[in-house]
């Protein structure tokens, strides 16, 4: 099948304005959108820039907006776009480095602000810190996050409040708040208890809809809000 692509092109160092470029690609219905981008870059236009690494939904590097929906290019099958022009754009709300490559530093800084590492009490044990399987279940969903930023690019609140910490940062807060081995429960809750923290979420659920790892992002944020309220009383 022949696929028609319209791809966002912009090199801020050279171009005054972004533009869209058309490409045609011969594809197998079982190909993914990422395979088509690779064909364009390898066979037609080596100047097209995008990130990819694993090609299998593991590394989180190829988050982009495809026909208006944020997702991983390596997880979108060509057959699902049959008969349509495929519009490929960078993740919204992120500064563009070039074409589909966005600057991730601000996003990652907000994850780091959650002190996204285990802070256990007491001395280091000789071996690993044990965790009951039932306790582990509490973080089973959120532990799947691959930092693709699709949730953040899809969140309407990010469009009106650039200071919002964003859904991914709250997923990482959740991941350690409910880790039975961590000792910073109250401090971590305080860290997201402000207007641009958990309280900015307006329950649009777009983050949940696009998350390639099926993390119930909005539900997690609502659980955090309830936990904050409980900790205040």
**Which residues would be at the binding site for ligand SF4 (CB under 6 A)?**
145-151, 167-168, 171, 211-213, 215, 217
Query: Is 41 within 8 Å of 48 (Cβ atoms)?
Result: yes
CA separation for the pair 26, 205 (Å, rounded): 35
Output DSSP code: residue 41: I
Residue 217, binding choice from ligand FES, ligand SF4, none, Cβ under 5 to 8 Å by partner class: ligand SF4
- Closer to ligand FES by Cβ: residue 19 or 56: 56
213 binds, among ligand SF4, ligand FES, none (CB under 5 to 8 A by kind): ligand SF4
Cα separation, 22 vs 7, in Å, equals: 6
**Between 1 and 58, CB nearer to ligand FES:** 58
49 scored as a contact of ligand FES (CB under 6 A): no
Q: Which does 77 bind (CB under 5 to 8 A by kind): ligand SF4, ligand FES, none?
A: none
Q: Which is nearer to ligand SF4, 74 or 148 (CB)?
A: 148
Alpha carbon separation from 11 to 15, 30, 57, 109 (Å, rounded): 5, 31, 27, 24
Q: How far is the CB of 57 from ligand FES (least distance, A)?
A: 5
Cα 232 to Cα 222, 224, 225, 226, 227, distances in angstroms: 16, 12, 11, 10, 9
Paired sense of beta strands 2-9 and 85-89, if any: parallel
Instruction: Determine the size of the site formed for ligand FES (CB under 6 A).
Output: 12
- Taking the complex as a whole, the smallest distance from the CB of residue 58 to ligand SF4 amounts, in Å, to 11
Q: Is 108 in the site for ligand FES (CB under 6 A)?
A: no
Q: Which two tokens stand for residue 166?
A: 């964003």
Q: Could you give the CA distance from residue 154 to residue 163 in angstroms, rounded to a whole number?
A: 15
Taking the complex as a whole, the smallest distance from the CB of residue 99 to ligand SF4 amounts, in Å, to 21
Interface residue with ligand FES among 8, 21, 39, 52 (CB under 6 A) is 52
Write each residue from 53 to 72 as x if it is in contact with ligand FES (CB under 6 A), else as -, in one continuous string: xxx-xxxxxx---------x
* Residue 18 or 55 with smaller CB distance to ligand FES: 55
Maximum CA extent, the chain: 62
Cβ of residue 176: shortest distance to ligand SF4, in angstroms?
14
- Taking the least distance from each CB to ligand FES, the nearer of 54 and 119 is 54
Q: How far apart are CA 192 and CA 58, in angstroms?
A: 27
Q: Nearest-CA neighbor of 209 among 199, 219, 201, 200?
A: 219
Residues that bind ligand FES (CB under 6 A): 52-55, 57-62, 72, 74
């Amino acid at each position: 099948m022949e696929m028609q692509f319209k791809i966002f092109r912009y090199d801020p160092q050279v171009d005054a304005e972004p533009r869209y470029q058309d490409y045609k690609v011969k594809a197998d219905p079982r190909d993914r959108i990422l395979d088509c981008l690779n064909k364009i870059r390898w066979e037609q236009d080596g100047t097209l820039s995008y990130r990819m690494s694993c090609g299998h939904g593991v590394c989180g590097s190829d988050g982009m907006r495809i026909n208006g929906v944020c997702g991983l290019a390596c997880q979108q099958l060509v057959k699902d776009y049959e008969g349509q022009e495929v519009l490929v754009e960078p993740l919204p709300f992120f500064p563009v480095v070039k074409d589909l490559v966005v600057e991730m530093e601000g996003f990652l800084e907000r994850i780091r602000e959650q002190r996204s590492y285990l802070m256990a009490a007491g001395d280091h044990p000789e071996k690993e810190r044990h965790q009951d399987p039932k306790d582990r279940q509490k973080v089973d969903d959120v532990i799947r996050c691959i930092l693709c930023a699709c949730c953040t690019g899809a969140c309407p609140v990010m469009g009106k409040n650039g200071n919002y910490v964003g859904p991914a940062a709250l997923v990482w807060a959740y991941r350690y708040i409910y880790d039975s081995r961590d000792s910073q429960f109250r401090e971590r809750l305080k860290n997201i208890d402000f207007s641009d923290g958990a309280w900015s979420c307006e329950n649009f659920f777009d983050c949940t809809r696009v998350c390639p790892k099926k993390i119930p992002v909005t539900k997690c944020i609502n659980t955090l809000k309830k936990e904050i309220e409980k900790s205040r009383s």
